[in-house]
Amino acid sequence: MMKLNGIGINDFNPDLQKLGEISKKQDGSFGKVLANFVENVNDMQQDADKKTADFIHGENGVEVHDVMIAEEKARTSLQLLMEIRNKGIDMFKELTRMQ
């Protein structure tokens, strides 16, 4: 029997925890962390696409659960990225209304 462990937010993208720590660091750049996060989301999308194609062609012994896990990680990461974008846009709109 296989034991399932909980999935934390950092399992999807380790750079995500850096977003909360940016204000504490002098040398960190929010833009760089966000760019790394976007790049990691893109990598997850490409990995999921590759696993799907390998599964369809029967290559590399890819199992259906590997494909589903990769697809779900990619989908969840993209949703998180879109929510971060939406909150950033909302913040910008609120700041422009305050002026």
Please tell me the predicted confidence (pLDDT) of residue 68: 95
State CA 78 to chain mean position distance.
6
Query: How far, CA to CA in Å, does 50 sit from each of 16, 46, 78, 88, 96?
Result: 24, 6, 17, 31, 43
Looking at residue 23, its pLDDT comes to: 47
- Tell me, what's the pLDDT at 24? 56
CB 52 within 8 A of CB 71: yes
What's residue 31's pLDDT?
Answer: 82
Q: Provide the whole-model pTM.
A: 0.68
The predicted structure's pLDDT at residue 99: 77
pLDDT the model gives residue 28: 60
The two three-digit tokens of residue 80, written as one number: 């998180």
Q: Please give the pLDDT value at position 26.
A: 46
Q: Which two tokens stand for residue 38?
A: 């976007």
Give the model's pLDDT for residue 61.
84
Domain boundaries, the chain: 29-98
What are the average pLDDT values for consecutive 10-residue runs of the chain, which has 99 residues?
Answer: 53 58 58 88 95 90 91 95 94 90
Q: CB burial class (10 A; 0-12, 13-18, 19+) of residue 16?
A: buried
